[in-house]
Each structure stands twice: as C-alpha cells, then as structure tokens.
A and B are shown apart, each in its own frame.
Chain A
Amino acid sequence: MEENCKDNNCIIEIIDITKIYRIGKIEVKALRGANLKISGGEFVAIMGPSGSGKSTLMNIIGCLDTPDSGKFFLENIDVSKLNDNQLAEIRNKKIGFVFQTFNLLSRSDTVRNVELPLIYSARGAAGNRKTKIFDSLKSVGLIGWEKHKPSELSGGQRQRVAIARALVNDPAIILADEPTGNLDSVTGEEIMAIFQKLNREGKTILLVTHELDIARHANRIIYLRDGKIFREEKIDMPINALEMLEKMPKLEDKLN
C-alpha cells in the first residue's frame, strides 16, 4: 500500500491506465500508463498543460469513458468489468460531474436541471425529491432562482446549478473538469468556496485546472504531462476561498 491509501480508505485507484484515440491513421496517446490513488475525503487538483490528458483521465474516473488497458477501482469495485448499465448506475449514484461548459439543458429551468439525476435513479419518492433538490440548491446558494432558465442566469450561477445537479443524489465523489475555466476570478473563487465547503462536509473532490491559483485550494496537486503523472505535491496550507473573497475587490469597488 502506498502512502495515500494507508488507512485503507482508498476510494479511487488507477493502475497503469492507457487511452489511445485514433483519427484515421493518426494515433493520439492521451494516457500512457497513469497511476493514481485517492482516499475518501481528499481534495485533489490535477494540473497539466493543454492536451496532457487531464480530461481523458477525468472521463475515465467519471465512468463516461473506458480505458484501453490498465485497471480502475472505484470503492474497490473493478470498473473495467462493468457493463454500460452498471456504469450508468455509478454515474448516477456515486459521482457528480461538473463541466467547464456547464452542460445544462437549455430549455429546462433550474429545478428541472437539478432534478435530472433523480429522474434516472429508482430510489427517492416524489416528496423526497423536492427536499433533495431544495437541499442541493441551498448548499450552492441558489434559493430564489428555481424557475430561471440557464439563459437567464450568469456564468457563475449556471455553474452553481451544475454543482447542485452533481450533488442532488448525494454522491461520494465530485469530479470537476476546469469548472472555473469560463468564469472570472471572483466568480471562480466563489465556486472554489463551494467545493471547499463540500469537501469539509466529507465529499471527495477531484478538480482539473491549469491555473495554479485554483489548484492551490486543494490538499494535493497532481501534475500530468504527456499522459503520465510525473509529480505530485502536498499542500499544507491550502488557500481558503472564503478568506480570499474577503480580500478580493468587490464589483462595486471596481466601478468606483
């Protein structure tokens, strides 16, 4: 057992994973033997230059994609042995995915977007549903915006709808692929505050970013290059997003 799984609380374990994309005759080796272990309750940031395979790795961990070789254990289940339906089940119950481009249903309002994972899970009666939606909207601070369509919300609000959707089925793991990439720095900091709060509440968070300022909110940074993990770094004093927001200029200050 390696250092990070000492307590045998290993929630994600990746061994020698490869992924090759083929476009015609050209082969792109997106992952070439990546190894990774993440314990429950950790907040890990994955950094690396564009094209280094960050999204590919996240998609595999999120069970949206499957590796060409190697092993992937999620809560000690060998995911490579699962079929499409079982993978869908995991995406629904164990993982909340947050994307850079929000990926909300444009014709549906906030409540309907947040409700989406509940539609595809068997448990949860109608009454229960409403409280779940309310709870996750509350934890991202979107009470009062239930009836708004994505086009009527700001970028930061849209990302919070996406986070609420990721939370609604109470998954153990939140995966976020450049969640602040399309947001300004203040809004990005607000999103990071939400992730830190969720992590304090016990969620395991895995976040992809190429900005060091964002990555330093995590407890550990993993550096990816050319489809391999080549370095990792423990952060003893992560940035506290709430304190950071205090110091940041408010919008009104900028206008004055």
Chain B
Amino acid sequence: MRRLFESIKIAFQSLVSNKLRAFLTMLGIIIGVGAVVAMMSIGTGAQESVINSVQDIGSNLIIVTPGNRQEQQQGFKQMLEDDRDKEALKVEDVKMIEKEAKLIKGAAPAVLSSSIITYLNKNTRASVYASSEKAEYIYNFEIEQGQFYTASDVQNSANVAVIGRTVINKLFGKIDPIGKIIKVDGKNFTVIGIIKSKGTDQFGNDQDNSISMPITTAQHKLYGIDYINMIIAQSTSENNMNQASNEVERILRRAHNLRTDEKNDFTVQNQTQLLDIVGTITNIFTITISSIAGISLLVGGIGIMNIMLVSVTERTREIGIRKAVGAKNKDILFQFLVESVVLSITGGILGILFAVAVSIILNRFTILKPTISAFPIILAITFSTMVGLFFGIYPAMRAARLNPIAALRYE
C-alpha cells in the first residue's frame, strides 16, 4: 500500500516535470473519452426527451391507425390497396372498444388535420385535433382557462373549440379569447377554453399551434367525412399493454367483419412498442459510439506506450540507481506501470471534465439536453485504466529487465 502511494507520487512528479509532453500524450485519451462521454450524455438526454414526449401524450396509450402498417412497408402495390383502408376506422369502432374491451379504461377518436383560423382580420394556420370529451384526460389536454368540450357538445356537434397558446398569441395578442367567435375554414366557432402550453416536441414542432373541437363537428361541418384518423385507447395498467392491444385488435377485426384469412385494415401500436423502438435506436447509437471509443482509446494507448518507451530510455540511469540500492524487477515494473496508468487515468478524468463542459455549453445554447450519468464516467475510468495497463506493460517490462550495471553506465 505504501509502495503504491510512493509509486503514484513518483509518477505524478515525473508527470508534472514534463507537463506539456504529458498533456500531448494524454490528448488521444482526452479526446476519445471526452467525445464518448459527451455523445453518450447527448444520447441519454435525447432518449429521455423522446420518452418524455411519448409519455407526454398520455400514459398507457394504445394507438390505432387505419391501414396495415406492416404491409405498407412492403411495396407500392400494397400502398395503393391500403389507400382504400384510409377510411377503415369509424367513430363506431371507438364505441365498440369502450363497450367490449375489459382491459381498456377509455378510448377517444381523433381527426387530425390543419385549417385556417381567423379572428377579425387576422388569420393563421394551425393543427386540428378533433376528438371526444375523453381526450381531455386520455390525450393530456390540460385546460388552463375556461373548459374542455363536453359529451353533449360532441353529441350535438357544437361549434366550440379550445385553442393553444401560439394561436392565441397570433390572433388575440393580449385580448382574452374566451367567449370570442373565431372562424375555422370559414365556419364560426366559440372559444371555450385555453390548452395548457406543451412547448415544442423533440422534432422542434410547436405543439401549442393547435386547436381542438368535438369530432362530430369536424367530421360533419368542416371536412365532410365519416371516418377518423386515429383511435387512442388507454389500458387499465401499464403491465397489460400488450394484452390490451390484442384485445383491441380482436374487437376491431370483428367490428370490421374480417375473415380469418384477411389481414388487418388497421394497425395497433402501444407506447411500450414505441419505447422499444427508441431503445433500438439507442442501441445502434451506443454501438457506433463504442467503435469511436475503441479507436480513440487505441490511438491514445499507442501514444502512451510511445512516451513510456521514451521515458524508460531517458531514465535508464535512474532505473540503474534504484536497482543498485535494492529495487527489485517488480518494483521497477510497478513504478512504470503506475506511471502509465496515472497518465491514462488523468487523461480520462480530463476527458470527462471536457465532456461535462461540452454538456453544459450544449445545455445552455442548444435544444439538446445532455444528461451526464454515472455509467459513461465509470466506463471511461475503467477503460482508460485498462488502456494504461495494456499499453504500459511492455515499456514497464523493458525497464524492469534492464541490467543494473548497464543502466548505471548509460549516458
């Protein structure tokens, strides 16, 4: 233990007495570790924000969209055929799910579009999310002021709407929008509530540039359609998402009178699957990062080996002196090994500090939100220690094997 301490002290002395050289040697490790830790932090941050925004929509959600997603990916012919399926989902399907599914707490239909909104002489284009009163809790439409549309609004195709902050800023400025009459694609609507701000999603889209209204109003009075674009259902628990998905699939197949040999004309996805996709992307990212890490640590390691060989040659006489007063081969081996490990760990630590600095800067000045976790730091320290040991062992062995007399004669 005392000898380890002694060796670390000697290693630091020789490091400090050759600051610039030590720094240049460590540069490979610093850059490698820094890049890896920074990239992993960016990745973790991105992953967290994707997960957050997936969960932002609501929790335990099952999403049904028209058309067979799997077939759509298979080719042009199916794409044409699937176009038929565009109208496959109806409001009745939602009612069926609500009535029959035991694992579903609630379900809401959605018509998604975009329309021109006008107030007095100002107008703007906004995303339309038309749904039922259930959307308020299933889709996380929090109402900040006023109220959400009710079941009877949906029943009666009432011309009422709730609008997002961006729309308000563009059309109303400082005026209170509640109770005002706006036009959506030329039709009059009364503003009854303000949707609480959700900010931008991970793709940079403004989620507040939106308007929501009863689905019946959108279908019959705005767009003249009888189909819907999406069903959002909420399972009773996050543990039965997949069973609930299967249940929804069974109910819809029956509702659509599909024979056993017919394929689904809809696609059921749940948040667990979405998060799995995020996981897959993260894994690809991690593999890429690991390869970069491997290469940069290799380069850094070769740099360390090189400088350690130089150091052994330069300090041949010192090695001779140490041996003359009783240092054993293993003492010399240990000293030089500790020195190369100190070099590589110091490089690793500087690399981590570099990554922390990069993360702080990115956090402040960009939309990226890097999250530094313990894992990449432990990984970085472990790997730089291993690099120091691996590339330090050969120079250290050369030092240890020096003949004391020859070493003392070395000029």
Q: Which residues of A contact B (CB under 8 A)?
A: 59, 62, 64-65, 84-85, 88-89, 91-93, 97, 99, 103-105, 107, 116-117, 119-121, 126, 165, 169
Number of interface residues of B (CB under 8 A): 23
Cα distance, A104 to B2, chains bound together (Å): 22
Given known pairs A88-B328, A107-B17, the reply for A119 and B404 (CB within 8 Å) is no
A92 cross-chain contacts in B, Cβ below 8 A: 325-326
- Whether A103 and B317, one on each chain, are in contact in the complex, defined by CB atoms closer than 8 angstroms, is yes
Is there an interface contact between B325 and A120, defined as CB atoms closer than 8 Å? yes
**In the complex the two chains form, is A120's CB within 8 Å of B328's CB?**
yes
Report whether B405 and A120 are in contact in the complex, using a CB–CB cutoff of 8 Å: no
Does A105 contact B321, Cβ atoms closer than 8 Å? yes
CB contact list, B59-88 vs A, under 8 A: none
Quote the shortest CB–CB distance from B17 to chain A (angstroms). 6
- Tell me whether A85 and B329 are in contact in the complex, defined as CB-CB below 8 angstroms, given that A103-B320, A103-B321, A120-B322 are known contacts: yes
Does B222 lie at the interface of the complex (its beta carbon under 8 Å from any beta carbon of A)? no
Give B21 Cβ to nearest chain A Cβ, in Å: 15
Asked if B136 is at the interface of the complex by the 8 Å CB criterion, the answer is no
A215 to B6, CA, bound (A): 40
B258 at interface, CB cutoff 8 A: no
The contact of A121 among B318, B326, B330, by CB within 8 Å, is B326
Chain A residues, CB < 8 A from B329 = 84-85, 88
* B165, CB-defined interface residue at 8 Å: no
Bound complex: CA of A25 vs CA of B17, how far in Å? 42
Q: Is the CB of B17 within 8 A of A119?
A: no
Contact among A84, A103, A126 for B324, CB-based, below 8 A: A103
Q: What A residues does B325 contact at CB under 8 A?
A: 91-92, 97, 116-117, 120, 165
Bound together, the chains give a CA A126 to CA B324 distance in angstroms of 22
Interface of B toward A, CB cutoff 8 Å: 2-3, 6, 13-14, 17, 317-318, 320-331, 404-405, 408
Bound together, the chains give a CA A59 to CA B321 distance in angstroms of 13
Is the Cβ of B323 less than 8 Å from the Cβ of A88?
yes
Per the bound structure, the CA–CA distance linking A92 and B329 in Å amounts to: 13
Interface centre among B2, B320, B405 (most CB of A within 10 A): B405
Which residues of A lie under 8 Å from residue B17 when comparing CB positions? 107
Contact B324 A97 (CB under 8 A): yes
Report Cα–Cα, A48/B395, bound state, in Å. 40
Known A-B contacts A103-B317, A103-B320, A119-B3; the reply to A93 vs B13 at CB < 8 A is no
- Taking CB atoms, residues of chain A closer than 8 Å to B331 are 120
The distance from the CB of B321 to the nearest CB of chain A, in whole angstroms, is 5
Distance in angstroms between the alpha carbons of A164 and B329 in the assembled complex: 24
Q: Which residues from chain A contact B320 at a C-beta distance below 8 Å?
A: 103
Q: Which A residues are in CB contact (< 8 Å) with B327?
A: 88, 119-120
- Given A88-B323, A107-B13, A119-B3, the answer on whether A59 and B328 have CB atoms closer than 8 Å is no
Bound-state Cα–Cα, A121 to B14, Å: 23
Bound Cα distance from A162 to B6, whole angstroms: 21
Chain A residues with CB below 8 A from B405, complex form: 59, 64-65
Closest residue of B by beta carbon distance from A103 = B321
> Are A88 and B318 closer than 8 Å at their CB atoms?
no
Q: Which residues of A contact B404 (CB under 8 A)?
A: 64-65
Kindly state the separation between the CA atoms of A28 and B405 in the bound complex, as whole angstroms. 16
Complex Cα spacing A165 to B318, Å: 15
**CB atoms of B324 and A64 under 8 A apart:** yes
Closest-CB distance, A178 to chain B (whole angstroms): 14
Residue in A62, A85, A88, A105 with the greatest tally of chain B CB atoms within 10 Å: A88
Question: Are A105 and B408 in contact, CB atoms less than 8 angstroms apart?
Answer: no
Cα distance A116–B331 in the bound complex, in angstroms: 12
On chain A, the residues within 8 Å of B13 by CB distance are 107
